[in-house]
Amino acid sequence: QVRLQESGPGLVRPSGTLSLTCGVSGDSLKNNDNWWAWVRQPPGKGLEWIGEIHHSGSTNYHPSLEGRVTISMDKSHNEFSLRLTSVTAADTALYFCARDILVGAVYDVWGQGTMVTVSS
């Protein structure tokens, strides 16, 4: 059974850097052709796609976050990460990682989500 688990600080200071990791079990980042994605949900609001990374290292990001966002992969630890710089209160959200198994954002497995609050 494939499981994803987000981890990282729950509180980040304004203008600081948000860093989250998604640990993957039951699947290998080395041995498949999947994309791995990050999605966030501000409190009481809908879902927002952040970006994704392929096992080849290719990435796609939401244009509104371009320049602030980096998604990377550590195959040796079977995890991928999200880094968001210069955060503001607008980045406060529940952050999910997900596995994309097919062309077309088919997110079949999601992590439980981790809440990140941007506040001083």
Partner 1 sequence: EIVMTQSPRSLPVTPGEPASISCWSSQSLLQTDGIHYLEWYLQKPGKSPQLLIYSTSTRASGVPDRFTGSGSGTDFTLRISRVETEDVGVYYCMQARQGPYTFGQGTKLEI
Are 94 and 40 in contact by the 8 Å Cβ rule? The answer is yes
| Bridging pattern class, strands 93-100 and 107-110 | antiparallel
Separation between Cα atoms, residue 14 and residue 88, nearest integer Å: 5
Q: Does 47 bind partner 1 (CB under 8 A)?
A: yes
CA distances from 46 to 1, 31, 70, 106 (A): 28, 33, 22, 18
Q: Does 48 bind partner 1 (CB under 8 A)?
A: yes
If the CB atoms of residues 30 and 45 are measured against partner 1, the closer one turns out to be 45
Q: Does 42 bind partner 1 (CB under 8 A)?
A: no
If the CB atoms of residues 64 and 72 are measured against partner 1, the closer one turns out to be 64
If the CB atoms of residues 90 and 103 are measured against partner 1, the closer one turns out to be 103
- Single out the segment in contact with partner 1 by CB under 8 A; choices: 8-16, 20-28, 46-54, 78-86: 46-54
